[in-house]
Amino acid sequence: MSNLIRRNSFFDDFITKDLFEFNRPKFSPSEATLPSVNVLEQKDSFEIQVAAPGIKKENFKIDLERNVLTVGSETREETEQKDFDGSFTRREFNYSSFSRSFTLPDSVDADRIEAAYEDGILKITVPKKDITVENIKSIEIK
């Protein structure tokens, strides 16, 4: 089988090596996935668990607008390698982000939502409102 990419020099090899090797991990569809999420309903709360290992807790952003809870993260990384005389040799940028949204039921207490990050798992606790018989009003039919 003939070689479709003809490499004549170091420069050609440097450019085509990264661009046309589709089996390399950076072209893997797994990089475009979202973190796995578990949603657990307990007696007095919901717990949202986001599996996001390697992300620093200060890179997470959790917002609540109306009854939609949005969890996201954005990281930026830049590396630069220089040769002996300090001229520019190679610079790489890596950006990654995700965002997940959850519509919360009316039965949650939005003022008491808490989040903690430990061992690569972001846990968001969404307490339910206390519904008592006193809060239920009977309407008389006329």
Q: For 78-118, how does the pLDDT look when each residue is reduced to its tens digit (9 = 90+)? A: 777 777 676 667 777 777 888 999 999 988 999 999 999 99
Asked whether the predicted pLDDT for residue 46 surpasses 90, the reply is yes
Looking at residues 15-42, what average pLDDT do you find? 62
In angstroms, the Cα distances linking 53 to 27, 37, 121 are: 21, 12, 7
According to DSSP, the residues that pair with 41 across neighbouring strands are: 46
More confident: 56 or 20: 56
**Predicted TM-score of the model (pTM):** 0.62
Q: Say if residues 128 and 44 touch (Cβ distance below 8 Å).
A: yes
In angstroms, the Cα distances linking 59 to 40, 73, 74, 138 are: 24, 5, 6, 48
| Domains in the chain, CATH or no CATH each | 35-130 (2.60.40.790)
Contacts of 17 (CB under 8 A, 6+ apart): none
